[in-house]
């Protein structure tokens, strides 16, 4: 198993404002980068994205919520690609007889 570089393992604590209240969140640089990309595709700021996730969270730890959000985001992309690659018959159903959703 390849070891992660030092940069990927470092947690970076960043100060952000959520609804005008300052808070800090500690995440690995890879997660900060992913949050920036996701926010850019949604045309919102990282702070606004985090504020939305914070409002909807059911887990006590905001850092964990953010990591799970990033994981779910990329899992959904993989699932969408797999679904798009499945052959379909003339009725738009999976050609192999499998259900549409894995």
Per-residue pLDDT tens digits for 42-90: 999 999 999 999 998 887 899 999 999 999 999 998 877 676 666 667 6
CATH number given to 6-85? 1.10.3990.20
With 0.75 as the threshold, say if the pTM is over it: no
Alpha-carbon torsion (62, 66, 71, 75), positive or negative: positive
15-to-26, 76, 92 alpha-carbon distances in Å? 9, 29, 49
pLDDT band at 32 (very low <50, low <70, confident <90, very high): very high
């Amino acid at each position: 198993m390849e070891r992660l570089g030092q940069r990927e393992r470092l947690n970076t604590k960043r100060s952000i404002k959520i609804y005008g209240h300052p808070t800090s969140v500690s995440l690995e640089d890879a997660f900060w980068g992913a949050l920036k990309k996701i926010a850019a595709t949604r045309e919102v700021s990282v702070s606004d994205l985090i504020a939305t996730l914070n409002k909807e969270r059911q887990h006590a730890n905001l850092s964990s919520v953010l990591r799970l959000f990033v994981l779910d985001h990329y899992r959904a992309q993989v699932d969408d690609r797999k679904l798009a690659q499945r052959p379909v018959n003339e009725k738009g159903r999976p050609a192999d007889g499998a259900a549409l959703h894995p």
